[in-house]
Structure 1
Amino acid sequence: MVATTDVLMITYNSAEHVRRSLPHLLDTCDEHTRVWLWHNGDDEETLAVVREHADDARVHRFHHSRENVRLTAPTNWLWTESEGTFVSKVDDDCLPEPGWVERLRDAHAANPDFGAVGCWRFRDEDFVPELASRKIQTFAGGYRLLRNHWVQGSGYLLPRAKVLRQGPLRQGQSFTHYCIALARAGAVNGWLYPFVREDNMDDPRSASTLFVDDAAFRRRMPLTAQALGITSVTDWARQEHESALAVQKASLDLREYGGWRAKRTLVRRRVERLVRGRGSW
């Protein structure tokens, strides 16, 4: 039986991104990959771009929610209604490299314990071998992962069988915490290494970024930047770099993500944000 993949793209108020990301995603689909489209809101320009491609043979389902329901409902729509071997999501501001589905799918085929295995969205300068080497492990078929108990919610491949066992996203549950729950159940998560790349157009260091200056950044500020109080391109680029370092430093000891250890880590992170002027109690 041929393994099949269902990939979700959620679009919202970003016609400039979708004009690039949606055709790109469709072009990376092989004959065993189907795209599910969910559009949030009534931004006419973005919706028009999505509708241009809704009848493409590679698009399996299209849903328009007039309300911006964010990520949980669309993700669970795919996870509960898909019949594919694997489920995935690609953000509307991301461009995974050609062949990404096939490479991740082949790694999964050789390693049934793999859970959420993702594309690497950071830049070359973000990879620090001295940090990452302790977490790069070799598995069946010679496949290597930069292991981490979570990956980003774009450009991943996840066996649907593991979703069926664990259930859909709970209200308020992030994809990060879902991945950690998968790891607690025995799944091996991480990034295939050598990396399968994903160009994140919200990274100001990307050649495809729309953040050409601080004014453009403030007009299209990502939710994470808003939460951290970041208002400049320079600070956002620094934050992207720090995020890459954080996942390379992150512990593989699952005890660090529950109980008193998790509370200790949360306090430390809050203090760090306060020192940098990016958060409050």
Structure 2
Amino acid sequence: MKIAVVGTGGVGGYFGGLLARAGHDVTFLARGAHLEAIRRDGLRLITASHGEFAIAPARAEDDPAKVGPVEYVVVAVKTYHLEAVAPTLGPMVGDGTTVIPLLNGVTAHEVLLRHLPRSAVVGGLCAVFSQIESPGVIRMGGNVATVVVGELQGPPSERLNRIVGAWRSQGVEASQSDDILTALWTKFLFIASAGGITSLARVPVSGVRSTPRTRELLVQAFREIEAVARAHGVRLAPDVVDKTLAWVDRLAPEVTTSMQRDVEAGRPFELEAFSGTVVRAGAEAGVATPVHATLYALLLPALERAVG
């Protein structure tokens, strides 16, 4: 399969690297020193799941127009970059192209649909704890590597079965959902809550789950998102909070969130896509979100400083 990965960071580098490892024709879109290192040395991955391996040589570009139409476009940029990136993807989208967003949050497909054919865009999410360690190098830790994709309308499709199969061949827990919006909000319940709380607590997820008062705050944050989602008609499982908490308890002790790492490094971070979205969606539905409103207010000065 011919695939383009837009955003070769922790997510795109890892899941795109596995597709290349499986023998597919993958082009990585990146920028700056990371782009130059991939062009020069290939893409190196250090993983808990597959050990260390390299995609070398690796095709890397900084302009979608240089790639041309592909079968799959995997979009893995940060949410705050998507508005700028989405209008540039057109040259890679031809008849039969499938565009799969693997971003945090619950609105990436909506942004893509404003710029690309409705038939091309599907829903998607992932879970992995990985990051750029240095230019050209991706490090993946922890014990989680999951991808879920799904058609926004209609039944499960063969086009998604194909790429799910490609990821499964590399050991990824990949699946196609018949209700991708519910799947997106189920992940969002965790990442939007844990992202804010770990950023403020400055400890790994294990530190949050093992401290009773902080664990209770995490549960309260989960329940706020559950209430907001249900108010917007999302069919979350009745036990979604309990299942999410049980999943948190199984995470490797060293796991941190991407938002936490960005806050610590003084980089822009996904506050608007996380607690900002919860607060706004709650206000629209008349659902109080005091925990997420507090997380948002406490982290907003750091975000404003990071973006200048």
What TM-score, normalized by structure 2, do the two folds share? 0.34
Q: RCO higher in 1 or 2 (8 Å CA, sep ≥ 6)? A: 1
Superposition TM-score, scaled by structure 1 size: 0.36
Structure with greater helix percent: 2
